[in-house]
Amino acid sequence: MPSLKLRLGRSWNEQAALGGGCSAGGEGGIRTPVTLASKAVFKTAAFDRSATSPRGLSHPETANGGAKVAPCLRRTIFAPMGLRMEFLGTGTSQGVPVIGCHCAVCTSADARDKRLRSSVWITAGDARILVDAGPDLRQQMLRSGQDRLDGVLLTHEHMDHVAGIDELRAFNFAQRRAMDLFGLPRTLEAVRRMFHYAFADVRYPGVPELNLVPVGKDPFMLGAVRVVPVEVMHEKLSVLGYRIGDLAYITDAKTIAPAARERLRNLDVLVLNALRIDPHRSHLNLAEALDLVEELAPRRAFFTHISHLMGLHADVARVLPPGVQLASDGLVVESDDPPTSHP
């Protein structure tokens, strides 16, 4: 794939001022007006071929009311499995608008500038998978119209990614089974502490029924779906991204080791966090995210976990190269291409 680059600097002839007058702290405590002065060198092609609708796959096999989990010793047959991903939320831990902020982004009338906490819903054939369960989960599920869930992939234990776990009891009631939560042992232990009442010996009626399934770096099965964990670093905290087929979802990354990057090759769709314009100690900024897209060369890339300090969606969209875009809440991405390779 031809190279792609967006470099940020004062040498670009066309200045684009984004997001003016932010008075709220946001990620990293920035309280100054936000501007983008960018130099763009676009050399992209073949990024933006539209995908077709997903096709069906039989319901995943389950064991003990949940997903059978084991290192993958066989290849899952992905054709005729289609992949569909819906962005339930694309904001940071504060969401957008931020409480008490009157900047151009937080007061924008553009629906794309309204961002709930980051999460996605993935349909892989007939399997329905949630990635992260943040504090906006109830609102997200009602808006999306979901009524069945096969399992939850947790990236890490920060509250904007797990605070909505109690809402999973609605699926318990509807499906009459415990909900499987997959994550690092450290993440699952945090869930056990936060929602201790769900794991008590004597439980109040109606608490969520949760089945905690520890995973590591090895691929595992969620029913009939092969899931490949991708370890990234959120400053000094290990966070899991996930690859399913030719689709990968990465959030809260600052650095990605070479071995993990190999698991992100040959992708149709890469979702990557991009917090804001200015650098941040624990999140990728826009320039860093674009550098990774250039290196990994997915067919399409979408940025999420976006702060109000990024600027107005419409303004940022104008300086992004073809095939790369800011995600927005409710955006649906589809792919039915079989994987070209398995990491």
Alpha-carbon dihedral of residues 130, 335, 265, 327, nearest 10 degrees? -60
| Each residue's pLDDT tens digit, 254-292 | 999 999 999 999 999 999 999 999 999 999 999 999 999
53: Cβ contacts below 8 Å, ≥ 6 apart: 82, 334, 336
pLDDT at 224 (0 to 100): 95
pLDDT of residue 335: 86
Confidence check: pLDDT of 17 > 60:
no
Q: Return the residue matching tokens 């609102």.
A: 139
Half-sphere exposure of 338 (CA within 13 A, CB side): 6
Write the pLDDT tens digit of every residue in 69-84: 333 322 333 333 689 9
Tokens of 60: 């995943």
pLDDT of residue 71: 33
Digit-coded pLDDT (tens) for 210-246: 999 999 999 999 999 999 999 999 999 999 999 999 9
Position 56 scores a pLDDT of 29
Residue 188 one-letter amino acid: L
From residue 243, give the alpha-carbon distance in Å to each of 49, 148, 246: 20, 21, 7
Could you write out the three-class secondary structure of 105-142? Answer: CCCCCCHHHCECECEEEEEECCEEEEECCCCCHHHHHH
Alpha carbon distances (Å) from 89 to 45, 119, 194, 303, 304: 28, 5, 22, 12, 8
DSSP for 232-297 reads EEETTEEEEEEEETTEEE--S-SB--HHHHHTTSS-SEEEEE---SS--SSS--HHHHHHHHHHH-
% of the chain with per-residue pLDDT over 70: 74
- Find the range with the poorest average confidence among 90-94, 122-126, 127-131, 333-337: 333-337
CATH for 5-335? 3.60.15.10
Question: Domains of the chain: which residue ranges?
Answer: 5-335
Identity of the amino acid at 211: N
Average pLDDT score over residue span 18-29: 38
Contacts 24+ apart (CB under 8 A), 235-243: 235/281, 235/282, 237/156, 237/282, 238/156, 238/184, 238/186, 239/155, 239/156, 240/153, 240/154, 240/155, 240/156, 240/183, 240/184, 240/187, 240/215, 241/155, 242/131, 242/153, 242/155, 243/267, 243/343
Q: How confident is the model at residue 13 (pLDDT cuts 50, 70, 90)?
A: very low
Looking at the predicted structure, is the pLDDT value of residue 102 above 70?
Answer: yes
pLDDT for 100? 98
